[in-house]
Chain A
Amino acid sequence: MKRHFMKGCEAIAESALRAGCTFFAGYPITPQNEIPEYMSKRMPDYGGVFVQGESEVASVNMVFGAAAVGARAMTSSSGPGISLKSEGISYIAGSKLPAVIVSVMRGGPGLGSIMPAQQDYLQATKASGHGGFRMMVFAPSTIQEAVDYTYKAFDYADRDRNPVMVLVDGCLGAMMEPVVLPEYHVASNRGEDWVLDGCLEREPRTVLSVSLTAEPQEQFNIEMEKLYESWAAKDTEVEFYEMDDAEIVLAAYGTSARIAKTAIDMLRKEGIKVGLIRPITLYPFPYEAFENMDYDIVKHVLDVEMSIPAQMVDDVRLGVLGRAEISTFGRSGGVIIGVDEIADAVRKLAKGGALNG
């Protein structure tokens, strides 16, 4: 199979093109500029449209419009920009439209740093806009996975008519790895009964997220809750690494998980029984992976994130439900977590020491 040596952001963009994305609007922000740059260059070759919006607010609303007329549409940004896009993401969710949003995280809050971090977990999974909607959030940890999940994200978005987020950090966005690219998607799924294309010989359609009375709004929320619940059962993805006899379990996603694996390989040679649970879908979160652990064996769960305070740990706690001790270890602000740092933290726990508190 042909392999291409590609930078994370560009691989994501290429994958989106191959998924049949025909509309991209974005606005520059580090560390994701290579996505709009790549799109601006390649989109026209595919008969697609690239627009550099005047802001994140405008860009995501352009995507909203494009999605309403049946285009496979995408935008990308980083934390400060995703904050601005949250308005549009909520409207897309409220209007039952498909769209893909790529978030390449950097340090925060505020303008923060432009270096890789994992500080937008809560923004991505809990409230990426007003009104309590949810979207599937994929957290790849290699560029190959970033390619695969970006590609799939369009299918999920279409299936559910709901926005889908691919969440990576600046590290994955900027590094290079060999990847196998997916086949070109043959667009075949448009012409559905919700697409706006002029009311030629049919009743007019409306795409809207507004309800002037309470009950229909509530009904919408009830239907959406069913959708979100259906994801938990059938779409949750998680990776287990060295978990068979693990006494210390690391919980990490994305780049942190990747670094954690190297630490685990090191620690295993020292005879320390340590494993990893890596959520691939951050929403739906793989609670079951934590619920079903053998708590006669598992003594400690160490949540590892490039975020201080840790964010995913709240979900880890819900899975563990007090049956094992939980600590957190992380770096933040754009400092990439070190293999040795993780290993040291685990050694300390293995000796019965406490990390936090």
Chain B
Amino acid sequence: MDKIYGRPESIRNKVSTYCPGCLHGVANKIVAEVLDELGLREKSICVLPVGCGTLGLFYWNVDMISSAHGRAPAVATGIKRCSPDKFVFCYQGDGDLAAIGLSEIMHAANRGENISVVFVNNSIYGMTGGQMAPTTLENQYSTTTQKGRNPLTEGYPMKMCEIISGLQAPRYVARFSMDSPQNIIKARAGIKKAFELQIENKGFSFVELMSNCPTNWCVTPLESLEWMRENTLKVFPLGVYKEVE
């Protein structure tokens, strides 16, 4: 019998310690599948964030560096500028990228660094226990917005694809979701597109993956997917925001 599906080589054979139902695991896997497919594993350097995404340290089977909170795009800049022949990607959460690291992502994007950024948006700070993120929805509960996020005092959800696509240098900016198999397939294709651009030395690409955090949303994994469809996906429309061939 032909084997038609298996663990990508770019993922280690380890038990996942992400919470049950967390889509970080899916994001890790589809990134790994694309690395395999494009033959990038042995030339990759992955820049990890602070947050649940740091756990990628245990799963990815590539060279990795763990950066300070939000600084991954700056670290990746130093890496790529010194090793232009390597494949360099950042994997960042929404607190990491859109709060503390907003400056680093904007400027790396604006310089058109030849790197790829995978941005996992779960609308909350997962690792530190469910505090408000810049991407938290209006009225959404978090441990620091216990009556729901009030835009009058906490502002509105930050939409990174919309913001980054307004810059001139980025080549590819797109938002996908991981709530269904169909959407995961599209997300995987988007990641592949982004990675290919870097291989062709075309510059900065940014893929946002809409995700969940059942633990801190205080719902079951299945309910979290429903919640995404009814809430986050309405505020963060999917699609390609910028594409320059």
- How many angstroms between the C-alpha atoms of A73 and B107 in the bound complex? 20
Query: In which size bucket is the chain A interface?
Result: 35 or more
**B148 to nearest A CB, angstroms?**
32
Q: What residues of chain B lie closer than 8 Å to A205, measured between beta carbons?
A: 63-64
**B177 to nearest A CB, angstroms?**
29
B216 at the interface (CB under 8 A from A): no
**B44 to nearest A CB, angstroms?**
6
Q: What residues of chain B lie closer than 8 Å to A51, measured between beta carbons?
A: 77-78, 81
Q: What residues of chain B lie closer than 8 Å to A59, measured between beta carbons?
A: 74
Q: Is the CB of A62 within 8 A of B45?
A: no
Q: From A97, which residue of chain B is reached at the shortest CB distance?
A: B65
Q: From B65, which residue of chain A is reached at the shortest CB distance?
A: A207
Tell me whether A68 and B65 are in contact in the complex, defined as CB-CB below 8 angstroms, given that A23-B81, A49-B82, A206-B57 are known contacts.
yes
- Give B42-57 as 1s and 0s: 1 = Cβ < 8 Å from A's Cβ atoms: 1111010000001001
**A323 to nearest B CB, angstroms?**
44
B161 at the interface (CB under 8 A from A): no
- Give A45-59 as 1s and 0s: 1 = Cβ < 8 Å from B's Cβ atoms: 000010101110111
Tell me whether A65 and B54 are in contact in the complex, defined as CB-CB below 8 angstroms, given that A58-B107, A200-B43, A207-B65 are known contacts.
no
B66 at the interface (CB under 8 A from A): yes
Q: From B75, which residue of chain A is reached at the shortest CB distance?
A: A65
Q: Is the CB of A65 within 8 A of B104?
A: no
Q: What residues of chain A lie closer than 8 Å to B60, measured between beta carbons?
A: 204
B103 at the interface (CB under 8 A from A): yes
Q: From A208, which residue of chain B is reached at the shortest CB distance?
A: B66
Q: Is the CB of A87 within 8 A of B78?
A: no
Q: From A200, which residue of chain B is reached at the shortest CB distance?
A: B42
- How many angstroms between the C-alpha atoms of A68 and B79 in the bound complex? 7
Query: In which size bucket is the chain B interface?
Result: 20 to 34
Q: From A68, which residue of chain B is reached at the shortest CB distance?
A: B65
Tell me whether A65 and B76 are in contact in the complex, defined as CB-CB below 8 angstroms, given that A49-B81, A88-B68, A206-B64 are known contacts.
yes
Tell me whether A58 and B57 are in contact in the complex, defined as CB-CB below 8 angstroms, given that A66-B79, A205-B63 are known contacts.
no
Among candidates A57, A198, A206, A208, residue contacting B44 with C-beta atoms closer than 8 Å:
A198
Tell me whether A57 and B79 are in contact in the complex, defined as CB-CB below 8 angstroms, given that A206-B63, A207-B64 are known contacts.
no
Question: Can you list 12 pairs linking A and B with CB atoms under 8 Å apart?
Answer: A51-B81, A58-B71, A65-B65, A65-B80, A66-B78, A68-B79, A71-B78, A71-B82, A196-B65, A199-B63, A200-B43, A210-B57
| A-B residue pairs, 5 tightest by C-beta | A65-B78, A62-B78, A61-B74, A66-B78, A65-B75
Q: Which residues of B contact A (CB under 8 A)?
A: 41-45, 47, 54, 57, 60-68, 71, 74-83, 86-87, 103-104, 106-107
Q: Which residues of A contact B (CB under 8 A)?
A: 22-23, 25, 49, 51, 53-55, 57-59, 61-71, 73, 87-88, 91, 95, 196-201, 204-210
Other A-B contacts than A57-B74, A205-B63, 20 sampled, CB-CB below 8 A, are A49-B82, A58-B74, A58-B103, A58-B104, A58-B107, A59-B74, A62-B75, A64-B78, A65-B67, A65-B78, A68-B75, A69-B82, A69-B83, A196-B45, A197-B45, A197-B86, A198-B44, A204-B64, A206-B64, A208-B66
